[in-house]
Chain A
Amino acid sequence: MIKELHQKLKNKEISSQQLVADSLDKIAKNNKEINAFLEVYKSEALEQAKSVDEKINRGEKIGLLEGIPMAIKDNLCVAGKKTTCSSRILSNYKAVYDATVVKKIKKAGAIILGKTNLDEFAMGSSTENSAFGPTKNPIDLERVAGGSSGGSAAAVASGVATWALGSDTGGSIRQPASLCGLVGMKPTYGRVSRFGLVAMASSFDQIGPLTQTVEDSALVFDAIYGEDEKDNTVTQKEADGYSFAINLNDDLSGKKIGVVDEFFGKGLDDQIEKTIRKKIELAEKAGAEIVQLKMPFLKYAMAVYYLMMPCEVSSNLARFDGIKYGLSDTTQKESKSRNISEVYFLSRKLGFGSEVKRRIILGTYALSAGYKDAYYKKAQKVRELIKADFLSAFEKVDAIVSPTSPTVAFRIGEKSSDPLEMYLSDIYTVSANVAMVPAISIPIGTKMENGKNLPFGLHLMTRWWDEQGLFNLAAGFEKLG
């Protein structure tokens, strides 16, 4: 998609201004209903498109992402623009600087259409936890777009943006990609700078692309990976300018693909299971070797995640206190706070939604005296055992295959009363964040429900830093059709 658009721009078959105008038209028509965008940068986008067109007309070279409209999840800072995290507590906050990824894509000439909706502070699997209303799935407006990067997924799935950036802490890129029929990729922890991403759970968070194709995913990844002095967890393994897209190779022959029983367990939709198993057979016919794996600690990944993540959340969200920035009780019409302590309590009461409060309290509980060893420290150790499981698995195979989500998109409101049931939508995706390995979801089939073809994804994980292998295998599966 990106490459074709790039060619068309270069050949002047289409102009960047046309692309942007078309996107803005669609936003004007659909956004009220879909609620993918929280803010649209109309005049800046048009102006930027005009200057790209002028550049093309002058015969200057343009980059692959240049002049092509995209969207950004609203937990990434864009200087001078609102960065709300879909929370009341930041509803008027303007970012002071660009996130490193934003700086990079601006440099690449991508046109930022605006900011997309998410579950408040990226906490959720349906984008229903947004303070600004849920995002609807463009394929079926009665259903969720997934989450937490639901706005980014809906922006791409509705054809408004060619690609979008999301963030993934437990599946927040891959699960909405699965539910909206897109490719969603989470890099190895430490691949992409998190500077300027509003932190949720710092040892799990990564930024990644939502796109229509695997090649597009690799193209965007090319633009965002790499070292950053502002995030010292980032490591770069390749020479500067290495392109994962150019080195893409979709040949499945000789590849060893692991299958784990835990990923085909209770709660998995029959049709999704059948389709994934069928694709695995097809991969075998295409020359891949299928290896049955045992990963005894994998089944604890959910528990580890839903314990460690709230701990990190409770610590990261302590900064929202009504003092330095964001919503403050002191500036409310009916301000009741008399001292600094009451400012904290009342600002946080007003500013945070239920899910955020729930996770902060759970994390505070698990970290409190007397419980820290039993919960947080124990979970940290189990996390290492899960990583060790992955380490020995990747001595035998190149990748592990599974479904992305146990179900297709569910109805809005269907799971919002039971947090634990909602958490289980991440059952196949969290282990990649727990183990810190790269992972991707690609659209692999659809299930007909009430006259709508609802998409679902196939999920692949590879060893640490092997994004090339991940893209290659994903392209191989994509080719199987």
Chain B
Amino acid sequence: MLKKDEVKKVADLARIELTAEEEKSFALQLSSILEYFQDISQLEVGEAEVVDHYQLGINQVRSDNVSMVIEDQAEKIQAEFPNKKKGYLSVKQVL
């Protein structure tokens, strides 16, 4: 059973502020979901190998060339910045 303060701690790690009500309901709901996982945590898996892209999948590679962002694309990206100064992304004080 997940406790409310555990939920709060994980929410902090995930950078999400929860309401008191959410903390309570998530503790309950997440507990019931985690219970569902008990099935696999008991399972004997031996030396099952983890393969990223099973069977015949080949990772495609391309040459590592530097290419400039097309100018108006840069503007479009900047247009999505919540805050900007002279084309730079502006953020609140970090330190």
**A382 with B16, Cβ < 8 A, contacts A234-B60, A235-B58, A338-B92 known:** no
Q: B24-68: which have CB < 8 Å to A?
A: 26, 29-30, 32-34, 36-37, 39-41, 43, 45, 48-51, 53-62
Residue of A96, A348, A378, A383 touching B41 (CB-CB under 8 A): A378
Which residue of B14, B81, B82, B92 has the most chain A CB atoms within 10 A of its CB atom? Answer: B14
Q: How far is the CA of A251 from the CA of B82 in the complex (A)?
A: 57
Interface of B is mostly: loop
Q: How far is the CA of A340 from the CA of B49 in the complex (A)?
A: 41
- Do the beta carbons of A96 and B77 come within 8 Å of each other? yes
Interface of A is mostly: helix
**A378 with B40, Cβ < 8 A, contacts A229-B60, A360-B14, A365-B10 known:** yes
Is A364 part of the contact surface with B, judged by Cβ < 8 Å?
Answer: yes
Is B86 part of the contact surface with A, judged by Cβ < 8 Å?
Answer: no
- Spell out B's residues near A (CB within 8 Å): 2, 6-7, 10-11, 13-18, 22, 26, 29-30, 32-34, 36-37, 39-41, 43, 45, 48-51, 53-62, 73, 76-77, 79-83, 89, 91-94
| Interfacial chain A residues near B48, Cβ < 8 Å | 381-382, 384-385, 388
- Do the beta carbons of A357 and B18 come within 8 Å of each other? yes
Q: How far is the CA of A232 from the CA of B22 in the complex (A)?
A: 39
- Do the beta carbons of A465 and B43 come within 8 Å of each other? no
Is A97 part of the contact surface with B, judged by Cβ < 8 Å?
Answer: yes
| Interfacial chain A residues near B59, Cβ < 8 Å | 232-233
Q: How far is the CA of A303 from the CA of B39 in the complex (A)?
A: 8
What's the nearest-Cβ distance from chain A to residue B48, in Å?
Answer: 4
- Do the beta carbons of B17 and A349 come within 8 Å of each other? yes
- Do the beta carbons of B10 and A324 come within 8 Å of each other? no
Given A303-B37, A324-B80, A381-B48, 9 more contacts at CB 8 Å? A96-B73, A97-B73, A300-B39, A324-B89, A330-B82, A340-B91, A374-B41, A420-B32, A420-B36
Write 27 A-B pairs (CB below 8 A) sorted by A numbering: A228-B60, A229-B62, A233-B53, A233-B60, A237-B56, A300-B43, A323-B82, A324-B82, A325-B77, A339-B92, A340-B93, A345-B16, A348-B14, A352-B16, A357-B16, A357-B18, A357-B26, A361-B10, A364-B13, A382-B40, A382-B43, A383-B50, A384-B49, A419-B29, A420-B36, A464-B55, A464-B57
Q: A373-392: which have CB < 8 Å to B?
A: 374-375, 378-385, 387-388, 391
**Which 10 A-B residue pairs are closest in the complex by CB-CB distance?**
A328-B82, A325-B80, A381-B48, A344-B15, A349-B17, A364-B14, A381-B45, A232-B60, A345-B17, A384-B48
**A96 with B76, Cβ < 8 A, contacts A321-B15, A323-B89, A357-B22 known:** yes
| Interfacial chain A residues near B45, Cβ < 8 Å | 378, 381-382, 385
Is A225 part of the contact surface with B, judged by Cβ < 8 Å?
Answer: no
Q: A309-349: which have CB < 8 Å to B?
A: 314, 318, 321-328, 330-331, 337-346, 348-349
Q: How far is the CA of A342 from the CA of B93 in the complex (A)?
A: 11
| Interfacial chain A residues near B55, Cβ < 8 Å | 387, 391, 464-465
| Interfacial chain B residues near A465, Cβ < 8 Å | 55-56
| Interfacial chain B residues near A328, Cβ < 8 Å | 82-83
What's the nearest-Cβ distance from chain B to residue A338, in Å?
Answer: 7
Is A479 part of the contact surface with B, judged by Cβ < 8 Å?
Answer: no
Residue of B10, B76, B94 touching A340 (CB-CB under 8 A): B94
Which residue of B37, B73, B83 has the most chain A CB atoms within 10 A of its CB atom? Answer: B37
Residue of A97, A233, A464 touching B56 (CB-CB under 8 A): A464
Is A279 part of the contact surface with B, judged by Cβ < 8 Å?
Answer: no
Q: How far is the CA of A327 from the CA of B92 in the complex (A)?
A: 15
| Interfacial chain B residues near A435, Cβ < 8 Å | 54
Is A410 part of the contact surface with B, judged by Cβ < 8 Å?
Answer: no
| Interfacial chain A residues near B56, Cβ < 8 Å | 235, 237, 464-465
What's the nearest-Cβ distance from chain A to residue B16, in Å?
Answer: 5
